Amino acid sequence: MSLPHLAYPGLPLGPSSLYIPGPGTHLHTASSTIHASLAGQPILTTPPSKDSKPTISIPRLLPSPTHTPVLSEKVSNVNTLPSVGSVVLGRVTRVRGRGVEVGIAVVYPVGVDWGALAGEGGTVGGGQEGGCVCADEWAAVIRKEDVRATEKEKVVTAEGFRVGDVVRGVVISLGDQSNYYLSTARNELGVIMAKSEAGHTMHPISWNEFRDPVTGLTEGRKVAKPF
């Protein structure tokens, strides 16, 4: 199987039966699957012998001297600045009553064609290939009134987001000196990856629920519509 051009924290990269987890990745023991721990471009290191398995790793920024040099426009030492209209991927760092704090990790160009990026076989987090990984996370906030387009007064942030969720949002304002303002008030925006309280990666079953495939229990989220 081929590796994605760009990975974000929590993205499955391959089974442990075929690969060895390296720096920037971790092994999910329940599913025996290697997941990304960092945002960046995965690198496959050839094993020293035929009896060994190749190693998957993700450099923190650019490939280090211990890796085979790889030139990539996706990973750079220069921080990519989000602008109004940019679609971003980020990780929820804190949930408050009036809003959700997010660390932006990947920025896409304004007007990105999600259908073209995701293709016919797109996934819940489809379209990573068009984005640029930020050298450092940008602080952002999803305000309560920007979570969804309807019944805004009934929104409870803790029912739509949890710390650690990976979120797809759009920048609606450059905000203040501390945070960008994001919105998830479109069908394709919201949580694209979440783990259950039991620690299992869940899959979406509706616009506001994820299900744990191991326990069968459901948890509420503001779900991004899968491509």
β-pairing verdict for 55-57 and 132-143: unpaired
Residues recorded for the chain: 227
pLDDT at residue 185 is higher than 70: yes
Q: pLDDT at position 130, please?
A: 61
Q: pLDDT at position 27, please?
A: 86
Q: pLDDT grade, residue 193 (50/70/90)?
A: very high
Q: What is the 3-state secondary structure (H, E, C) of 88-145?
A: EEEEEEEECCCEEEEEEEEECCCCCCHHHHHCCCCCCCCCHHHCEEEEEEEEEEEEHH
Q: What is the mean pLDDT of residues 177-185?
A: 91
The domain defined by 87-220 carries CATH number 2.40.50.140: yes
Indicate the pTM of the whole model.
0.65
The residues spanned by each domain of the chain are 12-57, 87-220
Please name every residue paired with 218 in a beta bridge, in sequence order, or none if there are none.
211
Tens-place pLDDT, residues 81-120: 888 999 999 999 999 999 999 999 889 878 765 555 544 3
Q: pLDDT at position 60, please?
A: 67
Q: Work out the percent of the chain whose per-residue pLDDT is above 70.
A: 82
**Residue spans of beta strands (DSSP E) within 144-195:** 166-173, 180-183, 190-193
Q: pLDDT at position 227, please?
A: 60
- C-alpha of 129 from chain center: 12
